[in-house]
Amino acid sequence: MLFFTLSTIVAMSFMFLTVTNPLSMGLILLTQTVLVAVSTGCVSHSPWFSYILFLIFLGGMLVLFIYVASIASNEQFSFSFKSLLTAFLTVISIFMIFFFVDPVLIANKIMMFSASILPTEDFFSNAAQVSMLYNTPSYSFTVLIVSYLLLALLIIVKIMNISSKPLRLSY
């Protein structure tokens, strides 16, 4: 599963270079974010890092989506069968490259990752890992990030109150 998600991430990176519509670029970025969050959730002992990564990136993508939707022209969004077939073949070929590089090494890694996914740890060790986020070394960084996000929210609300109109104009 992990190698399939990694090959899909690589294929999406190549697809991102060929797409011209900004909304489809945002969709590709959002899909890549979900895949990266799933990959890091499979590898790490605690899924909190992948949850936080996904939520922060999703918040940034929402702001970016509002900005791009207000600026971009209203183009028709359509998929072509040729691009879908190309994307599917790219994912399959990258997956095969990953699989045939060294099958023994990949089989060992798959067994190692599947063993790390099993819930062998108890609740208190996971709580200790999460509590490290709020302990002395990283406490100041956490407070800085929270205050930065609060400041950004207040500035956006103030800008919207000054203009007294929506971000996207309707014609």
| Residue at 27 is within a domain | yes
Q: Does the global pTM surpass 0.85?
A: no
**Which of 78-82, 86-90, 114-118, 135-139 is predicted with the least confidence, judged by mean pLDDT?**
114-118
Separation CA 152–CA 130 (nearest Å): 26
Q: Which domain holds residue 18?
A: 2-120
Question: What is the token pair recorded at 16?
Answer: 């991102």
- Is the residue at 113 inside a domain? yes
Tens-place pLDDT, residues 95-139: 677 666 655 555 555 555 555 554 555 545 555 666 665 666 666
Angle of CA points 45, 27, 148, to nearest 5°: 60
- Is 133 part of any domain? no
Inform me whether the pLDDT recorded for 142 exceeds 60: yes
> What angle do the packed helices 81-101 and 103-117 form, to 10 degrees?
100
- What are the backbone angles phi and psi of residue 164, rounded to the nearest 5°? 55, 35
- Per-residue pLDDT tens over the stretch 52-68: 888 888 888 888 777 77
39 belongs to a structural domain: yes
141 in any annotated domain: no
In the chain, the number of structural domains is 1
**Residue 152 belongs to a domain:** no
Span 34-44, pLDDT tens digits:
888 888 888 77
Comparing CA positions, the residue from 169, 2, 18, 1 lying closest to residue 90 is: 18
- Can you tell me the distance from the alpha carbon of 62 to that of 55, in angstroms, rounded to the nearest whole number? 10
Distance CA 49, CA 40 (A): 8
DSSP state of 166: -
